[in-house]
Amino acid sequence: MERDIFKKQSELTECLNRYRAEYYDRNAPSVSDEIYDRLFDELTNMEKQTGICMTNSPTQTVGYPVVSKLEKTRHEIPLLSLDKTKSSEELMLFQANHQVMLMLKLDGLTVKLTYENGCLAEAATRGDGDEGEIITHNACGIGGIPAQIPYPERLVVTGEAFIRPSDFEVLKAALLDSNGKPYKNGRNLAAGSVRLLDASVCKERKVSFMPFNVLEGYSELTTKSQKLYQLPSLGFSICKFVVSKRVLSRNEIEGGIEQLQQFARANDIPIDGVVVSYNDIAFSKSCGRTEHHYKDGLAYKFEDEMFESRLQLIEWTPTRSGEMAPVAVFDTVEIDGCEVSRASLHNLSFIEALELMPGNRLLVSKRNMIIPHIEENLDRGSFALEKIMPHDCPCCGHPTRIHESKGRAEDGEERIVKTLHCDNSACETRRLRQFVHFVSQKAMDIEGLSEATLEKLIGRGWIHTYMDIYRLNEHKSELVQMEGFGEKSWERLWNAIQKSRNTTFERYLISMDIPMIGNTNSKALCGVFSGSLEDFENAVYQGYDFTQLPDFGETLHNNIHEWFRDEENIFIWDELKRMINIEKKIVNETPVRQDNPFVGRTIVVTGKVEPYTREGMNELIASLGAYAASSVSRKTDYLVCGEKAGSKLAKARELGLTVLEPAEFFCMAGVA
């Protein structure tokens, strides 16, 4: 009965607002004043009976307020986002043994409503999560927000302000954004509308509100769903959700997602995914948070949206290895609130497969909601490889060449990959990239030598080789006269250079830029050769077989030996070695427990495993007498799967490998 009364009240509110618009806005009333007054009195009595009065009720709104600016407000409980995934399998793993809620992920702007003594005290945007903007004046222009509720205690709800797809189709034909362009989606229009200074304009945008969480209030209830079920009796239309009664299979989760999608389509609700979260409030709080998101839920995003654009040109830049990196420059498109106009084209084979030519219409996405990607070329048929690739390096003018090697496509099929190369070792851009790598944090770690500074020093002829960095004091008098430099800047830089003279086996090896030698492989070699550059070098000259090491394949083995066949590389290796000091490797005296199950095994870690950094996990694995590998293969014994697991999890399941959750791994390792 209570719901029937409120439904009639909502319909009467909508009806009277329509009559009022006909009378005041269009000067074309469809009912007499007598009928309007009778319905108005009926609504007034109904509001007294239910204790609910909507912000857009004609009994409340005799006008729409205007403010001069939006004031700021702090969120006592931070309004953080959730981590994202596109894997239904990850949702299945996420639920563990807990009851979960599957809820529509509304596509709009998060808004927080605060009620005191049954009255709306404040409406605010999410902002950066810690601080938002007060939009209380616009509450009367947003549908679905009660001004008065029959709940005397403090109540704080969060929800989404959005514009229904059918309304957006009508609105977008007449409205322009701040850049004078048509709005591209309802989310942007909703976000801009709730932040307008004039509530009457906000009202015209047909913005609606739906709550999806109760932050404060109903403290006696222990689950999120119980609290949400209280809101319809207060005048809210809550966001659609379903609650699990047991652990769900992957098929059941996918079925639930499809059910929610169908509901959204049928009810004209804009969504961009589904949220899965733990229903138990106490357990949710125990999950903690990061700076960016709460850990009690996952936002399942649908397939990447694609946006049409037009290719302007392809830029080619030599990398430090000499391979030319192609980048597509296209007409700007907005994806997930960000303007995107560039995307990597990977290699010649990728360009050839899409038949890309300037002027072609493209479909662009942001894969995994992060990386811009060219998905399709809508104007195939006029491709000419000779026209699209530069025959001379755009940086040094040296002739380019096409290199072919074996690789794998996205579907796993082996194929020939074409790449374009500049073989000029003196190419300025290529050399600059090499120096940037040499001074980087993971290599020699020389703070203060930015790419811009290196470019200036190279341009003045003060740096030709890595060794010249350690002789920069010869140019001190000139260097301190450079724009942006002075005595203090010089002192900081020179101290950083001197500090880098004491380095580690791993950093030195990484700085040499041997292809495929990064953090993981340099640590492995450090362990094998006890941190001795001489022992490593002698092993290379004696034909050491690196494929016998875990995670070292034939390609990496060949890379190491080929690098040491280059006389220039050997000269740099020997000269630089005289200028630096390799810190002695501290041998771990703690004996490895031979009864732990990981001795001699190969372990790969994927995702985030708190409280450890990746470096910390690798050290822990090494302390167990195991090898920390960087990629999954048939040689892998265990995969430790943390948050935001990537493709390594799928590969491990494909190979039938043992997958451990962090808690299982720590338990087996005897780590508290």
Instruction: Spell out the residues 6+ positions from residue 387 whose beta carbon is closer than 8 angstroms to its own.
Output: 357
Instruction: Spell out the residues 6+ positions from residue 173 whose beta carbon is closer than 8 angstroms to its own.
Output: 182
Instruction: Spell out the residues 6+ positions from residue 599 whose beta carbon is closer than 8 angstroms to its own.
Output: 592, 593, 624, 625, 626
Among the listed residues 427, 433, 364, the one whose alpha carbon sits nearest the alpha carbon of residue 390: 427
- The H or E element that residue 214 is part of is strand 207-216
φ, ψ of residue 509 to 5 degrees: the values are -65, -40
CA atoms within 13 A on the CB side of 347: 18
- 3-state SS of 20-44 is HHHHHCCCCCCCCHHHHHHHHHHHH
Helix (H/G/I), strand (E/B), else coil: 176: strand
Asked if residue 133 lies in contact with residue 273, where contact means CB atoms within 8 angstroms, the answer is no
Tokens 């009333």 locate to 29
Whole-angstrom distance between the N-terminal and C-terminal Cα of the chain? 56
CA atoms within 13 A on the CB side of 537: 13
Helix (H/G/I), strand (E/B), else coil: 516: coil
Q: Which positions are annotated as active-site residues? A: 105
Cα 554 to Cα 475: distance, rounded to the nearest angstrom: 44
* Helices vs. strands in the chain: H and E counts, helices first: 24, 27
Strands of 302-350 (E only): list them.
307-318, 324-335, 338-344
CA atoms within 13 A on the CB side of 296: 19
Dmax (CA) of the chain: 104
Tokens 């597509």 locate to 328
Tokens 């108005």 locate to 40
Among the listed residues 110, 109, 105, the one whose alpha carbon sits nearest the alpha carbon of residue 83: 105
